[in-house]
């Protein structure tokens, strides 16, 4: 079945460590996105990529990095520079130029 | 600035009662409009979308939404709520298709729906 797979579902890290969240899609979508969700704040865009080897910052990119070496994959690294990394992270994808996004099941990151 | 407002943070309705969740947006032109639903700890599922045409849009699970350009609103409705509808609902808007279209979505803060037996 086609879809978006995020792993792991839960992730715990010590403060000061970098951590990478995985996102893979087999929908043949060109565009992929990372959103951060905090209670009462909706979803905020971290990074997005319209094509392979190209990506742009979203509204809250500071402390995060991404790569897009393959069409199917868009990993997100939460670096030690991110001041408040504990959150629920959602990956999404869509056809290039399209607005309808399909979402993965999310990764809950807890930094202690 | 582009924005989406969901005025109701939390709504409680009785099972079988009707439901309306409000969504207002600020945008330079007619955007693409969406409603998503999220169960606890899960991703987002698309309920319905409006791109153009008929302003009353039908979605999954018996939901519908009406686009009102004059009010910059896209309210979600359901005639009879089921206990399984308890979840968080997000309204979102996206830019028009163009060479500069990024496909980015702007989300409202969400409305949590509680259903009483």
- Structure tokens, A72: 């199917």
State yes or no: pLDDT of B95 exceeds 70. Answer: no
- Structure tokens, B62: 């018996």
- Structure tokens, A58: 């979203």
For residue A55, which residues of chain B lie inside 8 Å, CB to CB?
A: none
Note the pLDDT tens digit of each residue in B33-42: 999 999 988 9
Selected residues 62-101 of chain A with any CB under 8 Å from a CB in chain B: 88, 90, 92, 94, 96-101
Confidence of residue B96 (pLDDT cuts 50, 70, 90): very low
According to the model, what pLDDT value does residue B98 have? 45
Q: Which of B21, B2, B23, B4 is nearest to B12 (CA)?
A: B21
Close Cβ partners of B99 (under 8 Å, ≥ 6 residues apart)? none
Q: Work out the number of other CB atoms within 10 angstroms of the CB of residue B43.
A: 20
For residues A89-95, give the mean pLDDT: 91
* Cβ distance of B105 and A50 shorter than 8 Å: no
According to the model, what pLDDT value does residue A98 have? 64
Q: What are residue A51's phi and psi, to 5 degrees?
A: -145, 165
Mean pLDDT score across all residues of chain B: 90
CA distance A78 to A86: 10
Q: Specify whether the CB–CB gap between B85 and B115 falls below 8 A.
A: yes
Which residues of B touch chain A, with CB atoms under 8 Å apart? 4, 9, 32, 34, 36, 41-46, 49, 51, 90, 92, 94-95, 97, 101-105, 107-110
CA distance B111 to A56: 29
Confidence of residue A97 (pLDDT cuts 50, 70, 90): low
Note the pLDDT tens digit of each residue in B50-73: 988 899 999 999 999 999 999 999
Q: Where are the beta strands (DSSP E) in B1-117?
A: 3-5, 10-14, 19-21, 24-26, 32-38, 44-50, 56-58, 64-68, 73-78, 87-94, 106-107, 111-116
* Cβ distance of B102 and A42 shorter than 8 Å: no
Note the pLDDT tens digit of each residue in A8-64: 999 999 998 999 999 999 999 988 999 999 988 889 999 999 889 999 998 899 999
CA distance A103 to A97: 17
Q: Work out the number of other CB atoms within 10 angstroms of the CB of residue B58.
A: 10
For residues B80-106, give the mean pLDDT: 78
For residue B110, which residues of chain A lie inside 8 Å, CB to CB?
A: 40, 42
Q: Which residue has the tokens 């993965």?
A: A104
């Amino acid at each position: 079945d086609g879809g978006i797979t995020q792993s792991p579902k839960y992730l715990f890290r010590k403060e000061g460590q970098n951590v990478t969240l995985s996102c893979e899609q087999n929908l043949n979508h060109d565009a992929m996105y990372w959103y951060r969700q905090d209670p009462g704040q909706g979803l905020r865009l971290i990074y997005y990529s319209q094509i392979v080897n190209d990506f742009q910052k979203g509204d809250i990119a500071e402390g995060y990095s991404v790569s897009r070496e393959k069409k199917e994959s868009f990993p997100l690294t939460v670096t030690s520079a991110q001041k408040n990394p504990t959150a629920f992270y959602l990956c999404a994808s869509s056809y290039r130029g399209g607005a309808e996004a399909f979402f993965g099941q999310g990764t809950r990151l807890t930094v202690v | 600035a582009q924005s989406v407002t969901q005025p109701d943070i939390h709504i409680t309705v009785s099972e079988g009662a009707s439901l309306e969740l409000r969504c207002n947006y600020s945008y330079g032109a007619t955007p693409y409009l969406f409603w998503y639903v999220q169960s606890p700890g899960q991703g987002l599922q698309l309920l319905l979308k409006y791109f153009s045409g008929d302003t009353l849009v039908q979605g999954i699970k018996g939901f519908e939404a009406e686009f009102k350009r004059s009010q910059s609103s896209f309210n979600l409705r359901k005639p009879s709520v089921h206990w399984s509808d308890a979840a968080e609902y997000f309204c979102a808007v996206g830019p028009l298709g163009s060479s500069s279209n990024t496909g980015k979505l702007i989300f409202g803060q969400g409305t949590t729906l509680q259903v009483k037996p």
